[in-house]
Amino acid sequence: MSTWPAGVLFDFDGVIVDSEPLHLRGFQQVLAGEGIELSGEDYYRNLIGFDDRGAFAHVFHLHGRPLDPTTARRLEGAKAAAVQGMITRGDFSALPGVDELVRGLARHYPLAICSGALREEIELMLEGISLRDCFQVITAAEDVTQAKPHPEGYLKTARLLREQSGLKFGPEDCLVIEDAPTVISAVKAEGFQTLGVATTYPMSALTDADFIVARLTPAEVLKQIPRLKIGV
C-alpha cells in the first residue's frame, strides 16, 4: 500500500493492560493445588506468550509430569475462573499512555487485538478501561489452533481486519505491537513490522523488533515511528 501502516495489531496482556500479575496469580493458585510452585521469575521467564493450555503443558513438562486432557481442561477452567474473579474486582489497569495512544491511532487506522487470553477476559477488561469501541477485530485463544508464539493468530487477525475494513493489505502493511520476544521473531518472519514494548522484558531482549519503546506513550512511540498518525 502507498501508506503504512494499513492496520495496527496489538497484543493484549502486558501491552494494553497490566494483566500479567492476574494471570500469574491465577496460575499460582491452580498449580499450588497440584503441588507445583510457580515463582514470578519462572512465570515471566518461561510462560509469557503462551495461552493457558500451552502454559500448563509447558509447566508440567518442566516438572517431568504427564498432563492428560481431562486434567488440562480442569486446570484451564479453574485458572479462568480465578482470573475472572480478579477482573470482576477491578484488579487491573491500562498501561501508561495506552488510552491516548489507542484512541489517537483509532482516528487514522483500523485496530485489532491478537491475544493468547480468553475472549471473555479481553472483552471484560477492554470494557473496564473504556477502549472496547476502538478495536474492529479481536482474536483470542479460542480462535486459533496454534497458540503464540506461532504466528497463526496474527495472520488470522490481519485477514479479519482486512475483511472488516474493506482495505487491501498484507502482513507487510501492518504494525504489530508486542512485548514477547519469541512472538516478535515469529511474526517478523511472516513480514509484519513490529514495535516491541519493554513492559515485560527489558529493551535488550527485544532487539528483533523493528522499533522498541519503554512504554506506549504517544510521544515515545512517535519518536521511534515519526510517520505514524496519532490523534487529530
Q: Which residues pair with 194 in a beta bridge?
A: 176
CATH superfamily of 7-19+92-224: HAD superfamily/HAD-like (3.40.50.1000)
pLDDT band at 222 (very low <50, low <70, confident <90, very high): very high
Rg over alpha carbons for the chain, rounded to the nearest Å, is 17
Packed helices 52-62 and 69-88: angle between N→C axes, nearest 10 degrees: 120
| pTM (predicted TM-score) | 0.82
Provide the mean pLDDT of the chain.
94
**pLDDT tens per residue across span 32-70:** 999 999 999 999 888 987 889 999 999 999 999 999 999
Residue 2 pLDDT: 61
Domain 20-88 fold is: DNA polymerase; domain 1 (1.10.150)
The three grid cell numbers given for residue 19, joined into one nine-digit string: 494483566
Q: Is the pLDDT at 137 greater than 90, yes or no?
A: yes
At 8, give phi and psi (nearest 5°).
Answer: -120, 125
Same CATH topology for 7-19+92-224 and 20-88: the answer is no
* 21: its cell numbers: 500479575
Rounded distance between C-alpha atoms, residue 132 and residue 96, angstroms: 17
pLDDT tens profile 75-96: 999 999 998 888 888 888 899 9
- Model confidence over 146-174: pLDDT tens digits? 989 999 999 999 999 999 999 899 999 99
What is residue 87's predicted lDDT score, i.e. its pLDDT? Answer: 86
Sequence ranges of the domains in the chain: 7-19+92-224, 20-88
For residues 140-148, average pLDDT: 93
37 phi and psi angles, rounded to 5 deg: -95, 130
3-state class (DSSP) for residue 123: helix
